[in-house]
Amino acid sequence: MTTVAEQQLLDKATDIREGEELNAEALKSYITSHLSGLSGELTVKQFPSGFSNLTYLITLGDNKWVLRRPPFGTKAKTAHDMGREYRVLSALHKAFPYAPEPVLFCEDESVIGSEFYMMKYLEGCIIRSTYPPELKLTPDQVRQQFFNWLDVLTELHQVDYQAIGLGDLGRPAGYVQRQVEGWSKRYRAAMTPDGVPTFERTMQWLQDKMPPESEKVGIIHNDYKMDNVIWSIEDPLKLIGVLDWEMTTLGDPLMDLGCTFGYWAEPNDPEHFRKFAAMPTTTPGAPTRAELLERFSKNLGISVEHFDFYFCFGLFRLAGIGQQIFYRYYHGQTKDKRFARLRDKVESLHLMCEKVIDESDL
């Protein structure tokens, strides 16, 4: 049984946001017809964080699951492919113990208005932009926690994807070039008529400075950050789960770390970038990007000499994701007021791309 302090650290679902309700009656009917031995009242709560796929806590009797579905108002099924995410987890959780176990996939959109899947609920602590005061980690513990967090990412990169049946998950050859060209196209398509940065200099620099194709190929998460992992309540330095697999594919692990660093603000970074920090990376004890890069290189035995490119790409891709979401908000396709703030974040990411380019010796 958890203590009162531990209960305060648990990631909690809350009331559902307006316009994002689910048909609980239809959902219960579907679940009970596909999973045996269930009874009781079904309740639905929503996890309030996240800007992409929507995540709900489903309780039925003594059973708890997490349900994921695409956001309302989206049309691009390939960007929110529930079936693909379910297949990835079905294969991966057997070889990578941090991947949640999926239990049910539904492609019948008449149930809740979209495809969805459910996975077993992992009870633990999720850390977001700041550390919960109840956690009370020392600087040494903060440092070790971040190193443990990075080590799990490199464990993922070393999973034998062929052996677990995920050899067709992506096309590693030409991955970096496709990402640069694809995100350039997507960013231009998502621009809004409100003076949003063009990123043209960034896109050209990424084309010009693209490194030779890496020989290292692995499963890459593509959105690895602190609020996408779960820590044990009893041992907050023990990572027990990795969430949000919608963008996972096969590719260059350095691209994965570059995307992670798009979220990583340090004490010496410009204030405009630090104010959008998605992780508590300025907390006393937190390692620097350089220290994590060194550990990453050692764990995987790969060169990191072109990392300015990967870091700049990570910043640019995050801007592309943010601008796509802001585009939906700008055009009234979502009512989530959190999305209004993304316009300023895109501006900040643009300035950081410019900084990386100006200071790079590539």
Which DSSP symbol is given to 319?
H
Domain containing 45 — which CATH number? Answer: 3.30.200.20
Q: What tens digit of pLDDT does each residue of 162-203 get?
A: 999 999 999 999 999 999 999 999 999 999 999 999 999 999
How far apart CA 258 and CA 214 sit, in angstroms, is 14
Same domain? For 116 and 143 the reply is no
Whether 51 and 167 share a structural domain = no
| 179-183: long-range pairs with CB below 8 Å, 24+ | 179/251, 179/255, 179/313, 179/317, 180/206, 180/207, 180/210, 180/313, 183/313, 183/316, 183/317, 183/320
Q: Is the pLDDT reported for residue 10 higher than 80? A: no
Long-range contacts at 340-344 (CB < 8 A, ≥ 24 apart) = 342/51, 343/192, 343/194, 343/196, 344/276
Domain boundary among 63, 92, 120: 120
**299-321: pLDDT as tens digits:** 999 999 999 999 999 999 999 99
Whether 128 is covered by a domain: the verdict is no
Identify each DSSP E strand in the chain by its residue range: 42-46, 54-60, 63-69, 102-106, 116-120, 218-220, 229-231, 239-242, 249-251
Count: domains in the chain: 2
Q: What are the backbone dihedrals phi and psi of residue 120, each rounded to the nearest 5 degrees, phi first?
A: -65, 140
User: What is the extent of the structural domain holding 67?
Assistant: 4-120
Query: Are 158 and 223 part of one and the same domain?
Result: yes
* Same domain (yes/no): 340, 207: yes
Beta carbons within 10 angstroms of residue 295's beta carbon: 16
Say whether both 186 and 90 belong to one domain: no
220: in domain: yes
Look at residue 126 and tell me if it is in a domain.
Answer: no
Give yes or no: residues 19 and 149 share one domain: no
Q: Are residues 226 and 287 in the same domain?
A: yes
Whether residue 349 is contained in a domain is answered as: yes
Question: Region 29-57: what's the mean pLDDT?
Answer: 90
Return d(Cα 94, Cα 73) in angstroms, integer: 34
- Among residues 141, 93, 149, the alpha carbon closest in space to that of 117 is found at 93
Mean pLDDT of the chain: 93
Q: Are residues 22 and 90 in the same domain?
A: yes
Is residue 278 in some structural domain? Answer: yes
120, 154, 182: which is the final residue of a domain?
A: 120
What is the CATH classification number for the domain harbouring 204? 3.90.1200.10
**10 assigned to some structural domain:** yes
Which residues touch 181 (CB under 8 Å, ≥6 apart)?
none
pLDDT at position 72, please?
81
Tell me if 133 is assigned to some domain. Answer: no
